[in-house]
A and B are shown apart, each in its own frame.
Chain A
Amino acid sequence: MIKNNIKYLAILALGLVACEPEFDNPLEETTAFTSGEADFSNYVALGNSLTAGYADGALYVTGQENSYPNILSKQFAFAGGGEFTQPLMSDNTGGGLIAGVQLLNNRLVLAVVDDKGTRAPRRLAGTPTTEMTTNLNSSFNNMGIPSAKSYELLAPGYGSAVGLQTGTANPYFVRFASSPTTTVLEDALEQDPSFFSLWIGSNDVLLYALEGGVDMDHNETGNTDPSTYMRNDITNTAVFDQAYTTLVDALTAGGRKGVLLNLPDVTSIPFFTTVPNNALVLSAEQAANLTGFFQAFAGIATQVLASPPNNIPLAQAQAIAAQYAIQFNPGPNKFLIKEESPTNPFGFRQMTDEELLLLTIDQGALGQGYGAVVLTDDVLQVLGILQMGGTPTPEQGALVIGAVNAIDDKDVLDAQELASISNATTSYNATIKSAADTHGLAFVDAKASLAQVANGGIPINGGVITSQFGTGGGFSLDGVHPTPRGYALIANLIMDAIKSTYKSNLPKVDPADFGTITVSNDIAQ
């Protein structure tokens, strides 16, 4: 009997093993995920800060871990993808040292900056530990170089520490360039990638926009020699076209497959869409006062124009001055910006609907007359004289004219600048699409997707990703670069494109699993 029982116990023990749960179709055995016609065994990503995983105005470890190439590589691993390496920074502070001196800023965090609970991005406290001139002596699958422009991926010496002093090198590439004379493209090809992604060109136009369009548009100048460009100039489209074509030709040599991404519009980026151009909110009384002020201004302007040394005929002077009799209404009004134009002798006008203010504008100043008028007691006195039917002296008139405090060019993208940006972006995107078509590469319309993020948002599990600054989830605190969640969205877009072109099937990521911005009050004082 006992012997029998032992037998039963043995059966029970077997049963114990047999009752390990197992799925009908275990993930690790699934054949549903395939690379299709692509080969993900050695994926190399080329690009700029967007490819590097830059966010919150800095490059730091957790940001890099959530770069879209790194996210992609984990999904590629379901279909033959190999190891994916990145030139990780030394810390999560962000920022960097060049020869021991901090020249790259720490990351931004969302801080509470006063007793009222006001939230604002601030630089994280701490000293960065990444010495940019220390070469890591290795190549990396992620060749995203923050700040790189299209033609710079082809520039010898772009990774030369010596070149940092002359501005011909990039500290991020200096960290892992295989030699002082190599190019980003060469180092990428040296890795013999089986698959590549290329997202380049944003900086060819974006740097111009980020500085308020105060620099040169080489589509206007016709200058096609990038060695003469200033940092924030718009690259001539012929230069871009040639650089881009060279890159894609080299990357697709031997039939190598890959994916190209186009460039978003600046109007999709919170850096340009956060500060409204009509935040001059007035009461009925304020509006009437301001309207009165500009009626007075127009009258004074007429006088000035009709007087020596201008001596413009009165009727013509009145016609010119009429543009300054700006009407203000109760509620929101557009700000005034500076404008240089022969037909605008006093150099300011009201913003138009499409014109944009930059995130970096002094928003405190906007509440204190920046973009409108600074009404001092002296100015009010002059207005009083006018109201009583008096005639102000030229000195008093100058006081009124000087009271106008229009927004500087560096804080705004005006219609002309927007046209320059749009023109360049459209042309670059045509080049990118054409390259994708020519070589049969996967193509991601990042412009369209980011426009969707900016206009209504993209629904995700438990919410919506929008480009609302600080809260939308799509953009980090620099207002330009995505959050990890935004990068996850891009990774999914890329997988869609690869699936469409190469018939691969990869598991998507859930953007809700990726973080957004970090709150902290550990900020530099």
Chain B
Amino acid sequence: MRKLLLLVLFVLVTMVTYAGGYRVSVQGQRAMAMGHTGVAVVNSAELVFFNPAGLVYLENKLNVSVGASGIFSEVIFQNEELGISSETDNSVGTPLNVYASYQVNEWMSVGLGVYTPYGSEVTWPTDWAGSQLVNNIDLAAIYIQPVVSFKLSDHFSIGGGPIYVTGSVNFNRNASRTTTDLEGNRSNITVDDTGVSNWGWSIGAMFNPTENFHLGFSYRSEIILESTDGEATFANFPNSPLAPANGTTGFEAELPLPAELTVGLSYEYKKWLFAFDYNRQFWDVYESLDLTFGNGQTSINPRNYKNSSVYRFGLQYAATEKITLRAGYYIDESPVQAGFFAPETPRNDSDGFSGGLSFAITPKLAIDASFFFLRFEEIDASYDFGANGESFGGTYESSAFGPGIGLTYKM
């Protein structure tokens, strides 16, 4: 049992695991279409997330960007030695974002963002071969962030703001590879919590050596979600003083939402815009997922993630007055180290390909569309830190595809 935790959200919102660990890098349709670059792209209110410092350079007084994607992901597993195989039946993840900025005066803009940068939704068949690690998990976090942006000069600006996070988790797994009740039903534990909240912050800076050339920096702080009011449900345990009682009890756990540092640049040449972002995600904070249950049981799950990087390249082409085309590519490193490959976040390194376009319905209103496709190599991997040091592994292959749509409004 075990794992988990945290974050909240709207019932309607679920997410998937895209971008190493449970980071879901889908925070803007325009950026997504360009390989999720944006720390140095002055384009829309998506800057609330990518780099609040840039908001003050937006041309319009009011900028609004809303969008949502549907993420279709699947993971397959097999172990040829044992002749076992399985595949996930994940529901569609729907990261969403709402951003707005308002230029108060020439030197200051304010903004507000709601976005969902972390989450995981993985559903394996109940009692599958790796069920002692996970049957299903649904993790979601909503970030709500006001920002302010100051132009110190035409060449330099800074911005930032506090972040309020509310998260939720629902996680089920079997108690062990073999524990059952007298009828052979697998003993399992579900943890569930919603409304787990905490605060964090982000800052950004933008430097414009020339009008066409931007350099950006942003940093979003680590936020630890501490679940203390959740409910753990023990089911199908045999009736014995040697086994936990069936029923509900409390649990406590912590799940880190790691800090992320981004540096990047963009260069505009005629109708072309090129962007590059480098993300550094500080996953080393995720050492172990430890649960303490109200009935005295504990669950220690080493994770031992490492810091990871993502390299993002984006290209934009203003095809016509109304149509802007975008494409991107990124290399997404997994924070999961060898021997720690747990099927609740089955991520290995991937290549991301994205594309999209904007269509200006009116000068003020545009429709943005994006898609991305993550390509994973199949990987032989295992989680070697189960109970008694037991190992579970085999060959995994994942895929994820995410079309999205949004609106940009400016006036």
Chain A interface (Cβ < 8 Å from any Cβ of B): 1, 5, 12, 15-16, 19-28, 30, 32-33, 61-62, 65, 75, 78, 92, 109-112, 117, 119, 124, 461-463, 484-485, 506-510, 512-516, 518-522
Contact = CB atoms under 8 A, between A and B. Distances in A.
Contacts of A65: 184
Contact of A521 (B72, B240, B398, B403): B240
Contact of A5 (B81, B179, B357, B395): B357
Contacts of B390: 461-463, 512
B397 interface: yes
The 9 A-B pairs of least Cβ separation, nearest first, read A462-B390, A507-B83, A515-B178, A62-B184, A519-B240, A21-B397, A462-B388, A519-B242, A21-B399
A21 B240 contact: no
A519 to B, nearest CB: 4
Contact of B129 (A15, A16, A20, A513): A513
B397 A62 contact: no
Contacts, number: 117
Interface of B: 72, 74-76, 78, 80-85, 129, 177-180, 182-184, 238-243, 320, 323, 357, 371, 373, 375-376, 378, 386-391, 395, 397-401, 403
A20 to B, nearest CB: 6
B238 A28 contact: no
Nearest to B395: A23
16 contacts: A12-B371, A19-B399, A22-B76, A23-B378, A23-B397, A61-B184, A62-B183, A109-B182, A109-B240, A462-B389, A463-B390, A508-B81, A512-B178, A518-B182, A519-B243, A520-B238
A26 B78 contact: yes
A509 B129 CA distance: 11
Contact of A27 (B78, B179, B239): B78
A521 B371 CA distance: 57
A12 to B, nearest CB: 6
Nearest to B183: A92
B242 A119 contact: yes
Nearest to A16: B401
Contacts of A92: 182-184
A32 B82 CA distance: 12
A24 B378 contact: yes
B259 to A, nearest CB: 31
Contacts of A5: 357
A403 B391 CA distance: 57
Contacts of A461: 390-391
B74 A21 contact: yes
Most A C-beta atoms less than 10 A away, residue of B75, B177, B180, B320: B177
Contact of A507 (B72, B82, B178, B323): B82
B357 A515 contact: no
B385 to A, nearest CB: 10
Nearest to B179: A515
Contacts of B388: 462-463
Given A19-B401, A112-B241, A512-B390, A33 B83 contact: yes
A112 B242 contact: yes
A78 B320 CA distance: 59
Given A62-B184, A461-B391, A521-B239, A25 B80 contact: yes
